Amino acid sequence: MPLFREPALPEPAPACAKSPSQGATSQAAVSGEPAVSITAPPPLVPLIIVDAANVVGSVPDGWWRDRAGAAIRLRDRLAAVPATGLSGIPAPVEVTLVVEGKAKDIPQDPDGVRIERATGSGDDKIIDLVRRECGTRPIVVVTADRGLCERALALGAESRGPSSVPR
């Protein structure tokens, strides 16, 4: 009758090599000075760039009779977004509203929505902003303009439709 044998256990994993500083005491601890803590960098604040003409134009409420007034109403509705974020993008966020044409002279609101005035094409101004911020933080362009979406996506920005912001 064969004898029962315990299965062989695997060899224990070798211990990690000791770091030269492992077990050492810091100079601050020895001298009684407060230790310096290393903290993680603050999270990157996403930039939301809103194409004002396109978002305003997505709601048929007579905006064409008062373009500047429609842009001001959009700016005011966006005022809460820096503190609340957008769906899938938690606060804090930075919001930039790009205005052009008859709406480009609307006043800056001190509540957090930055106004960028396009002297020419609003789309070109938006792409300039995306290029300037590209690679430094997440960027979302809010527009329904397919051509602008494609240009922004090619630079690494995300694109969302007008219904993603309060309008």
Q: In one letter, which amino acid is 161? A: G
Count how many domains the chain has.
1
Within a domain: 10: no
| In a domain? residue 19 | no
Q: What is the pLDDT of residue 97?
A: 98
Q: Is 34 part of any domain?
A: no
Question: Taking a C-beta distance cutoff of 8 angstroms, is the pair 46, 139 a contact?
Answer: yes
Residue 158 lies in a domain: yes
CATH of the domain at 123: 3.40.50.1010
Identify the pLDDT of residue 20.
40
CA 66 – CA 102 distance, rounded (Å): 9
- What is this structure's pTM? 0.75
| Within a domain: 60 | yes
What's the confidence (pLDDT) of residue 18?
40
Query: In terms of residue numbers, what domain contains 67?
Result: 47-164
Q: What is the pLDDT of residue 167?
A: 81
Residue 102: inside a domain, yes or no? yes
Residue 87: its pLDDT value, please?
94
In a domain, 103, yes or no: yes
Q: How confident is the model at residue 150, as a pLDDT? A: 97
Per-residue pLDDT for the chain (167 aa), expressed as one digit of tens each? 555 555 555 554 444 334 344 444 545 555 666 666 677 666 789 999 999 999 999 988 889 899 999 999 999 999 999 999 999 999 999 999 999 999 999 999 877 899 999 999 999 999 999 999 988 999 999 999 999 999 999 999 999 999 999 98
The DSSP secondary structure of 9-61, one letter per residue, reads PPPPPPPPPPPTTTT---HHHHHTPPPPPP-PPPPPPPEEEEEHHHHHHTS-S
Give the β-pairing of 139-142 and 158-160.
parallel
In a domain, 77, yes or no: yes
